[in-house]
């Protein structure tokens, strides 16, 4: 894979500016936490696992501002920086899990000097980065078995290299299947209103020479009715203890359609996307974004300016509509509540859990 979504180098986080794709491949150099906050808010960096890494690097950027030697004051500052980054986007729990992980390491090492603590936190942020690279490839291994040979599969939004450090969750499964020599074609739903499917998924699948057909979101049903979809793979922004899954708006409609047409519907997500503090999807905070995203696209007006707009960025798919969830520890099948609990009891690190 040649796409490097986010990278840390000598105190600067370099990210691909995804708002410019596919027209231009440009980078943003985040030298302070405000630039990172803005990049997250504007979706220059997006996708749940990438947001976790961006949050961890954002903490490092925020720490650069602290010049004193008092570790107690430094810990206070770390908390302030984490709270600030937490106001950027509410739904992807990976962002909050990374912030919690950084804070936990800081408070565990509260007896060391500020300089030493900065070094420890840099190491921790880099471990979150490396962990993402590792788990995406693991999920790919497990998930590739779910892609039938000579099949046609569908995906929504972008759960690829651009949504992670460099490989992807749902698209990572496709990259691994291709590496294993499987033959398949992909239908990418364009994903209104910000077109992550058209702009990002189509772009990166074509870079990897995967046969890709772009469709408008409202064409999915007719393809399924014609028997042209063998499986659907989507990523996730937050998975509750019972398996209910928040992902990009439109994912829920695909899951309902998949059930009706007897198409398997798979979620691919790492531990860091699970929120075991909540019982069901009802408790997942759903981000509502600006009306202008629906009434405009890149400066072109697409609707009357004074029309009422409803613009939730995510929806929740009921666990009953999900065939299986692919994680780095294997494939979780129903009953989800019991099986999620079991898998986390064995290996569960990274997920948000009760204190
Ligand atoms: O608003 P976005 O572009 O951040 O939404 C991203 C998604 O919904 C992805 O499908 C999800 O984060 C999984 S990414 C591996």
In this predicted structure, what is the pLDDT of residue 348?
52
The proportion of the chain whose per-residue pLDDT surpasses 90, expressed as a percent, equals: 95
Q: 349 in a domain, yes or no?
A: no
Is the pLDDT at 192 greater than 80? The verdict is: yes
Do 210 and 305 fall into the same domain?
Answer: yes
Do 154 and 133 fall into the same domain?
Answer: no
Do 193 and 313 fall into the same domain?
Answer: yes
* 164 C-alpha to ligand 1 centroid (Å): 10
Confidence of residue 350 (pLDDT cuts 50, 70, 90): low
Is the pLDDT at 69 greater than 80? The verdict is: yes
**Where in the sequence is the domain holding 264, given as residue range(s)?**
146-343
Q: What angle do CA 118, 44, 78 make, to 5 degrees?
A: 25
At a CB cut-off of 8 Å and minimum separation 6, what does 10 contact? none
Instruction: Express each pLDDT in 208-230 by its tens digit.
Output: 999 999 999 999 999 999 999 99
Confidence of residue 349 (pLDDT cuts 50, 70, 90): low
* 246 C-alpha to ligand 1 centroid (Å): 9
Domain total of the chain: 2
Is the pLDDT at 1 greater than 90? The verdict is: no
Closest protein CA for atom 15 of ligand 1 = 159
Q: 348 in a domain, yes or no?
A: no
Q: Which atom of ligand 1 is nearest to the CA of 248?
A: 8
- The residue among 137, 171, 191 that closes a domain is 137
Q: 77 in a domain, yes or no?
A: yes
- The residue among 86, 104, 137 that closes a domain is 137
The proportion of the chain whose per-residue pLDDT surpasses 70, expressed as a percent, equals: 97
Answer yes or no: 237 catalytic: yes
pTM: 0.96
Instruction: Express each pLDDT in 315-337 by its tens digit.
Output: 999 999 999 999 999 999 999 99
The CATH number assigned to the domain holding 303 equals 3.40.50.10470
């Amino acid at each position: 894979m040649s796409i490097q979504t986010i990278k840390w180098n000598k105190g600067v986080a370099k990210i691909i500016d995804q708002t410019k794709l596919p027209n231009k491949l440009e980078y943003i150099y985040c030298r302070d936490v405000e630039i990172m906050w803005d990049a997250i808010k504007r979706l220059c960096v997006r996708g749940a696992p990438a947001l976790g890494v961006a949050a961890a690097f954002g903490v490092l950027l925020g720490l650069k501002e602290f010049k004193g030697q008092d570790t107690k004051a430094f810990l206070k500052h770390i908390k302030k920086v984490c709270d600030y980054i937490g106001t950027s986007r509410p739904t992807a729990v990976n962002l909050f899990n990374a912030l919690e992980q950084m804070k936990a390491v800081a408070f565990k090492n509260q007896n060391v000097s500020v300089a030493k603590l900065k070094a420890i936190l840099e190491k921790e942020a880099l471990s979150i980065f490396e962990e993402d690279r590792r788990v995406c490839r693991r999920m790919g291994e497990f998930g590739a078995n779910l892609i039938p040979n000579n099949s046609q599969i569908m995906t929504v939004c972008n759960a690829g290299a651009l949504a992670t450090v460099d490989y992807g969750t749902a698209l990572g499964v496709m990259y691994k299947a291709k590496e294993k020599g499987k033959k398949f074609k992909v239908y990418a739903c364009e994903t209104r209103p910000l077109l992550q499917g058209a702009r990002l998924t189509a772009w990166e699948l074509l870079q990897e020479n995967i046969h890709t057909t772009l469709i408008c979101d409202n064409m999915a049903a007719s393809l399924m009715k014609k028997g042209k979809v063998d499986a659907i793979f989507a990523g996730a922004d937050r998975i509750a203890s019972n398996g209910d899954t928040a992902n990009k708006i439109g994912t829920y409609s695909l899951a309902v359609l998949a059930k009706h047409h007897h198409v398997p519907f798979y979620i691919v997500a790492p531990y860091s996307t699970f929120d075991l503090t909540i019982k069901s999807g009802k408790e997942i905070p759903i981000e509502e974004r600006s009306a202008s995203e629906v009434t405009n696209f890149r400066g072109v007006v697409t609707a009357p300016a004074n029309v009422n707009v409803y613009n939730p960025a995510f929806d929740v798919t009921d666990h009953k509509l999900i065939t299986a969830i692919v994680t780095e520890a294997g494939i979780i099948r129903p009953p989800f509540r019991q099986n999620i609990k079991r898998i986390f009891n064995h290996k569960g690190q990274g997920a948000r859990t009760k204190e």
